[in-house]
Amino acid sequence: MNKKLADRLATAVFYFIAGIIIALIAFLIGYILFRGITVIDWNFLTSPPRTSRPGGGIGPQLFNSFYLLLITLVITIPLSLGAGIYMAEYAKKNRFTDFLRTTIEVLASLPSIVVGLFGFLLFVNYMGWGFSIFSGALALSVFNLPLMVRVVEQSLSAVPQDQREAGLALGISRWETVKKIILPRALPGIITGIILASGRVFGEAAALIYTAGMSSPNLNFNDWNPLSPASPLNPFRPAETLAVHIWKINSEGIMPDAQEISAGSSAILVIAILFFNISARWIGRIVHKRLTAS
């Protein structure tokens, strides 16, 4: 067969496969948004859910999702930065680092339900924290940390070696070189990875069913004392997130408008994840342009 013809056929096949994948994704997103967009209004976004009566909303669940995401990022970002810097800049290539990277790969591939059961045994039962935001955040940290470590390590490793050598040649210490030269250059990739990981964590349900719980107490949004049982900032209260709420409605919801609530909640979840993905690219490009200009 003619090489040019073979190349055109292969290109056509790849474009066809890509078109099928894009069409499937567009259909799924469009179907979810089409069913749920009519349900969404201010009352739906701010009011609490109802158990048996129609007209409930997702206000507490939406707040719980963002609050739990914030605590998870507060835990994982410093740990992943430290581990990623060590793996990329300080760790020597030997059996220990090879074992460490293999362990990170294994942890990154664990099903979320396994992480949830681990969190249930350790954080909920053994540590005695019960079903709480803190237990869920720690479980999500175990789930998210391997991915974040790989993102940081790959972003740092992508910085050209000559920039490291230039810093060291000027008499700057290795840590100063990492802090003032390597990290700023790797910042766009790190920020993009953090935002993409946030979308992954925001849509997680299986790990939170066993750690954060499937219920949320009546919250008093006028009480911002973290030690108060009814305070939304209390990290040791149960917290049903948006993804868990969708699962719960579809599995055991008895309200008359359960399908409408599920459709609206799913649309909000899809919009939030799309926002995370789009903002990751947008912010990454802005940071890259500013660093390039400077």
Return the CATH number of 37-293, one of 1.20.810.10, 3.30.413.10, 1.10.3720.10, 1.20.120.430.
1.10.3720.10
Averaged pLDDT of the chain: 87
> What's the mean pLDDT in 104-110?
85
Is pLDDT at 136 greater than 90 in this prediction? yes
Confidence of residue 122 (pLDDT cuts 50, 70, 90): very high
Q: Packing angle between helix 183-202 and helix 59-85, nearest 10 degrees?
A: 150
Predicted model pTM = 0.88
- pLDDT value of position 294: 60
